[in-house]
Structures are given as C-alpha cells and as structure tokens.
C-alpha cells in the first residue's frame, strides 16, 4: 500500500504551492525587496511537512493519506496569515510547529496501540477536568475578555482546554464503549445512576465550565462533542435530545443569572448598537466590517487594512480568535469558503477513520476526536460570523498559539494511529505500549 503514502506526498503539493504563493504575495504587498530570510520560513515549514510525511511512512504506513496534508494545508494558511500580521509571530508559530511535531512523534512512538489508553481513563478524565479549571487558580490563571481560558507560567501562556478536549474524548469513548450496551437496550426508567452518573458528571462539568470559566464556546464544544459521542454510541436520538435540552436549560438559566454570559448574548444579537459597538461589541463588529471589506474575492494576501496609523490593529485578536475574519478580508468569500471546505474534508476523513475502525473504542475515539474538532471549528467560525455568540476558541491549525498547535497535532496523531490500526492486516497486529 505504498500508494497511500504516495498520495499523502502528493497531497503536500498544494501545501507547497500555498506557502510559496502566500509568502510571495505578502512580501510583494510590502513593496520592499524580497527578503531571503522571510522566504526561509516557508521552506522550513515545507521541510517539516516532508519530515512528518517520512515519519508517518515509517511508523504508520497504513494510516489515512489525506488527514496530514489537510492539516498541513490549514497550518500553511495559518502561517501565511500570521506572517502577514507579524513576522516575529510567524517565527514563533514555526517554532511551535516544531514542538507540536515533537509531541506528534512522541505520541506515535509511545502509543503503539491506542487501546492502552482505556486503562488510564479515569486518570485521564480527572487530569482533564483539573486542567480545565486551572485558569481559575489565582496566580497562574489569566482572564481575557471576562473568560478564564488560559494559564500563564512565566512568559508561556497556555490554554488547557485544548489538551483537555482530547482527554475528555478519550475518557468518554472508553466509558461509552463499555456502557453503550446498557444504554442502548435498557429502558430509560430502569437505567441506574451507575450508568447515568458519569453522564451527569459530564453535564455538570459543562455547566461548571459555563460558570467558572465563563465561556459559552468551550462549554458548547465539550458538550457538543459529548452529545455526538452519545449519539454514535447509542443511536438514540432521545438521549441526545435529553442531553441537548439539559444543556440548553442550563445555558438559558446561566444566561439569565451570570452577567458575563448575558452580555455576550445581547452583544451577539445586536453588536452595532452605539452603546456597545466601541466597547464590548467592538470585536464582532470589526469582524463583520473586515468580512464586508473582503467581498467575493478579498483584497489579496497582505493587502487588507490591519495596522492603524496611530499603532495597534483595527481587527483585534487577528492572529487568534478573529483570524477567520482576516482570511475572509484578504481572500474573500471564496478563500474563506475554501478554508471551511478543508475543515469539512478533514472532518470527512476523520469520520472515515471511525467507519473503518474495527472495535467500539476505536470507532468512538475517532468519531469523538473528529466531532470535537469540527465543533471547535463551528464554535469559532460561527462566533466570528455571528451564527452564535463570539467566544475565545482557536481555529485549529490556523490560529496562532502553542497549545492549539500541540493539542491538534496530538489529536491528528491519535486519528492516524486509529487509522493505521484499522487498515493494516490483522495478522501482523501487535498491541501494548512500546
């Protein structure tokens, strides 16, 4: 099956094209001489991609050939946009990409069989929940826009939710894989607390996230991932509906009691009111203005208005939360739709991995990771385009941020491990930790 890897290598061609064209366009837009140093970022990035390809070729030869090129394409998009915003930031992002690849390789090397994770599921769950609440710990917690999403250790800022999402999916996949028989067959009144307990814990965690982290976005992401898994595990829409209703009830309750959530929703409904447009509504208003400026084809790489004459940027958080708005501004509706399309293809390949997986845990793990990944895309792009209230979640592989790059490359590694495991010849299977 060398052809799968060959397809993967060919899949990297568009990445190379995008990086070359993107960097050239940005550099040209600056009306300065083409800087050799700036172009080396692109070359360096391509080198990393080829290295990753050979690593996959050796360790996971049967893995899905499209997932990595799609992720690389997204990362290339992100790198070009970040380079366009700030050269120094692009250098850091490239460094993070190296770190992410280290984690990627480490995951693949250490975890020869993903089923080993099942043994540690409660530890993983506890660690993940702990991670989620770390930003509330005084001293290291960091409040941004009223939400507690990051921790700060010295100069390093870290968003624990990025890693926690993987841990929670691992736990849920393992847990639901075991109890799904009971949940599928049992009649609702006869299901005991023993079966429902952990589900209530998940619901409670999502609610606590709303209150303590004060972030509707990550709550929605986690709970959406959970409901998706519940549905895959049980095929019972009634359970999903009950869960969704519980989340909605909780969200509505907190929307009416917690000021922060309430504000977010009223801004979402009408961000252009004069009272808020320069204040709390500034981000989403600027996001819409940037998209309006882009039109069908956009202004071109590096040509959108970003820097203000007096310093600062007109589009806040352009490198992280609002990077999609900048993409829509510079590449237009077509470019933005292309990015969404790449995410949809990634999601399709992720679910394909789940379809091909041979056991329940593998299926649930792949489906859950894919679902939470897609949910994250929906939460942030939906926030930026005002489908839902805007919250601070990164755009996977594209946004600037170490934790985001590292976590999503680990997520990719897990998907590839499951994929390799599903496609290889059963005769040569061997399990366990390396």
Partner 1 sequence: MNRPIVHLFGLFTLLFALLVGFTSRWSVFEAESLEDETANRRPLLEEQRIPRGLIHARNGTVVASNQQLGSRQTRRFVRRYPTGSLFSHAIGYSFIDRGRAGIERSRNDILSGSANELTSLIDELSSAEEGDSLRTTLDPKVQRAALEGLGGRRGSVVAVEPDSGRIRAMVSLPDFDPNAVRERFNQLNADEGSPLFNRATQARYPPGSTFKVVTAAAALDSGRHGPQTTVSGKNNKPISAVPLQNFGGQDFGQVTLTEALTKSINTAWAEVGADLGDSTMLRYMRRFGFGAEPPIDYPSSQLAASGIFEENELLDEDDPIDIGRVAIGQERLQVTPLQMAMVAATVANDGVLMQPVFGERAISPEGRVTERIRPERVRRVIDRSAARDLTGMMSRVVEEGSGTAAQLRGVRVAGKTGTAERGAGVNQAWFIAFAPVERPRIALAVTVERAQGTGGEVAAPIARRVLEVVLDAQGRGSSGPAASGGF
**Binding stretches for partner 1 (CB under 8 A):** 29-32, 228, 231-233, 235, 272, 274, 277-278, 285, 288-297, 300, 303, 305-309, 314, 328, 332-333, 336-337, 340, 343-344, 347-348, 351, 354-355, 360, 363-364, 367, 371, 374, 377-378, 381-382, 385-387
- Tell me how far, at minimum, the Cβ of 298 lies from partner 1, in Å: 8
Q: How far is the CB of 279 from partner 1 (least distance, A)?
A: 11
Structure token digits, residue 313: 């940027």
Q: CB of 432 within 8 A of CB of 373?
A: no
Q: Which is nearer to partner 1, 101 or 414 (CB)?
A: 414
Comparison of 201 and 355: residue with beta carbon closer to partner 1: 355
Q: Which is nearer to partner 1, 154 or 310 (CB)?
A: 310
Q: Smallest gap, in angstroms, from Cβ of residue 352 to partner 1?
A: 9
Q: How far is the CB of 248 from partner 1 (least distance, A)?
A: 17
In whole angstroms, the minimum distance from the beta carbon of 184 to partner 1 comes to 10
Nearest CB to partner 1, comparing residues 261 and 381: 381
Contact 367, 422 (CB under 8 A): no
Closer to partner 1 by Cβ: residue 315 or 410: 315
Cross-strand pairs, 141: 151
What does the alpha-carbon distance between residue 279 and residue 102 come to, in Å, rounded to a whole number? 41
CA nearest to 78, candidates 135, 142, 148, 23: 23
> Which one, 135 or 321, has the nearer CB to partner 1?
321
Min dist CB 302 to partner 1, Å, is: 8
Query: Which CA distances in Å does 93 have to 7, 374, 399, 404, 426?
Result: 27, 22, 9, 11, 39
Q: How far is the CB of 324 from partner 1 (least distance, A)?
A: 8
Question: What minimum distance in Å lies between the beta carbon of 239 and partner 1?
Answer: 11
CA angle 175, 180, 186 (to 5 degrees): 130
State which residue, 11 or 294, has the beta carbon closest to partner 1.
Answer: 294
How many CB atoms neighbour CB 280 within 10 A? 18
Shortest approach of partner 1 to residue 32 CB, angstroms? Answer: 7
The residue among 253 and 297 lying less far from partner 1, judged by its C-beta, is 297
Closest among 64, 90, 212, 205 to 149, alpha carbons compared: 212
CA distance 212 to 201: 15
Nearer to partner 1, 134 or 327 (CB): 327
List Cβ neighbours of 304 (8 Å cut-off, separation of 6 or more).
290, 293, 294, 298, 326, 329, 330
* Distance of alpha carbon 325 from alpha carbon 318, whole angstroms: 8
Burial class of residue 169, CB neighbours in 10 A (0-12, 13-18, 19+): buried
CA distance 161 to 379: 14
In degrees, rounded to 5, the angle at the alpha carbon of residue 194 between the alpha carbons of residues 189 and 198 is: 105
**In whole angstroms, what is the distance from residue 97 CA to residue 166 CA?**
18
């Amino acid at each position: 099956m060398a052809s799968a890897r060959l397809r993967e290598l060919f899949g990297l061609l568009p990445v190379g094209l995008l990086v070359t064209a993107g960097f050239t366009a940005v550099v040209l837009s600056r009306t300065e001489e083409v800087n050799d140093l700036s172009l080396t970022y692109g070359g360096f990035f391509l080198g990393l991609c080829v290295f990753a390809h050979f690593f996959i070729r050796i360790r996971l030869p049967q893995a899905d050939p499209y997932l990595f090129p799609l992720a690389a394409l997204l990362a290339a998009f992100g790198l070009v946009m970040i380079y366009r915003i700030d050269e120094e930031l692009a250098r850091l992002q490239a460094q993070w990409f190296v770190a992410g690849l280290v984690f990627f390789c480490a995951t693949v090397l250490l975890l020869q069989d993903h089923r080993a994770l099942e043994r540690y599921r409660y530890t993983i769950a506890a660690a993940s929940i702990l991670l989620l609440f770390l930003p509330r710990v005084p001293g290291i917690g960091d409040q941004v826009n009223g939400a507690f999403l990051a921790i700060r250790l010295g100069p390093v800022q870290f968003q624990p939710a990025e890693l926690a999402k993987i841990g929670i999916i691992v736990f849920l996949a393992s847990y639901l894989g075991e109890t799904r028989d009971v949940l599928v067959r049992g009649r609702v009144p006869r299901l005991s607390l023993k079966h429902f307990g952990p589900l209530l814990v998940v619901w409670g965690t999502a609610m606590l996230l709303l209150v303590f982290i004060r972030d509707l976005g990550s709550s929605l992401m986690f709970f959406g991932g959970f409901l998706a898994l519940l549905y895959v595990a049980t095929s019972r829409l009634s359970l999903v509906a009950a869960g969704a209703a519980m989340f909605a009830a909780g969200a509505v309750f907190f929307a009416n009691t917690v000021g922060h959530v309430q504000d977010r929703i009223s801004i979402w409904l009408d961000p252009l009111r004069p009272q808020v447009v320069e204040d709390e509504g500034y981000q989403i208003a600027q996001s819409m203005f940037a998209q309006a400026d882009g039109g069908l084809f956009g202004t071109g790489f590096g040509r959108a208005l970003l820097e203000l004459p007096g310093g600062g940027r007109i589009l806040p958080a352009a490198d992280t939360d609002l990077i999609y708005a900048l993409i829509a501004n510079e590449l237009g509706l077509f470019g933005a739709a292309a990015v969404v399309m790449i995410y949809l293809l990634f999601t399709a390949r992720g679910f394909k991995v789940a379809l091909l997986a041979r056991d329940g845990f593998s299926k649930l793990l792949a489906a859950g990771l894919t679902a939470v990944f897609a949910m994250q895309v929906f939460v942030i792009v939906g926030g930026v385009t005002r489908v839902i209230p805007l919250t601070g979640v990164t755009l996977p592989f594209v946004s600037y941020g170490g934790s985001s790059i590292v976590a999503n490359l680990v997520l990719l590694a897990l998907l590839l491990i499951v994929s390799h495991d599903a496609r290889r010849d059963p005769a040569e299977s061997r399990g366990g930790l390396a």
